[in-house]
Structure 1
Amino acid sequence: MDYSIAHGAPLEAIDPRLFQKPDAGDESLFVVFYMGVVVDQQASTSAGRLIARDEEFVRIMTPGDRNNIIDRPASDQDKRRFPKQYEQFKAGAKEEEQLVGTRLRDWPAASRGQVLEYEYLGIKTVEQLADLRDDVCSRMPGSRDFKEIAKAWLGRAKTTAEAAQQVAKDKAMQSRISELEGAIREQAKLIEKLRNAEQAKAA
């Protein structure tokens, strides 16, 4: 069926090679799902009037490159490829709420001006900043150093989280050991009680 898109660029105008770059990891892409409108040209021609319907769309952008954007009806593959964003969309999340990661605006290291500058380029999370391609950094003065700061911050956060998880595991293990020790003591008391009862009968 022949479709034309009433929102975004026509499918035939999109170069599919844009997102076949090995350094464009899915985790660093800015992805949102939304409801768009598709015009059914064939049905419209047959009916002599505009025939359109709402349809789920996906917008995929490489952070820092506003010329590298895919905007089209969402396929089943898109939904499987970006499950977190799609689940958020189906749960009623708006485009801005479909971000995965730590938002730049919530990051203490980023000033308000930096947040606005990077968001304009589709860089909205610390994770996206840390994965920013070198060619994008070269076009944005200071971005290379800021990228390293983001990477270091994420590394420290991961280390802290892992340490906290280990502490929680240690506490859980200690609690389990205490429970087992308590059970052993109770069993010892029961055995002693049974032994005393047997001795009393023998006497």
Structure 2
Amino acid sequence: MQVVENAGAKPWDILPDEDMAWFKRFEKYRLMQPEDRSLKVLFMLERERRKRLGTLDQLPAYRTFVQVAKKHDWPGRAREFDKAEIEKDRAGAELLRSEESRSAEEERALQRQHRRQLMNILFNKVLAAINTESFDLTKAKPGELLQFMRVYLKENREEYDNAPARYRRFQFDTLTDQELYDLIQEQLALNPGRTR
């Protein structure tokens, strides 16, 4: 393989002694799919193009293509390009995976925050209801307090298991009693507990 004088140049960049017309042909060769890359195919494409333009007489002979490709190591330079493209694709895929992973971690953190808020609100409502004589919580029956506690305990277990929350998002600081009641009923419907 030829040594490129410019330290920042890539192997598939134009070489100092490479003619621009041949470099453009190399570019076409380089951009072919690796399994389809062939000097013969490149020559045939060039011949078809020249035929359409009416300049077929200016087409270099096939052996000239072979000599120039060998002199400037077209196959080696094209392989280097392929390796760089594969590495670029791999790096892009890794970046995408890390962004997806970060996004999943952020989603889990948000779910945990919502679960904690739900548990705190639920626990405080149940304690407040137990401590008052005029228990209402939207006309809940005392037996439902046990169900509320089951939901609380289930959410608490899932919190430590790091399971995803299975309820839609609420603004927990502005959750009304009715919304809380509906949310609890929804949770009980998802995982009905035994009632004694």
The structure richer in strand per residue is 1
Higher relative contact order (CA 8 A, sep 6+): 2
Specify if TM > 0.5: no
Q: Tell me the TM-score normalised to structure 2 length.
A: 0.41
Which one has a bigger Cα radius of gyration? 2
Q: Tell me the TM-score normalised to structure 1 length.
A: 0.40
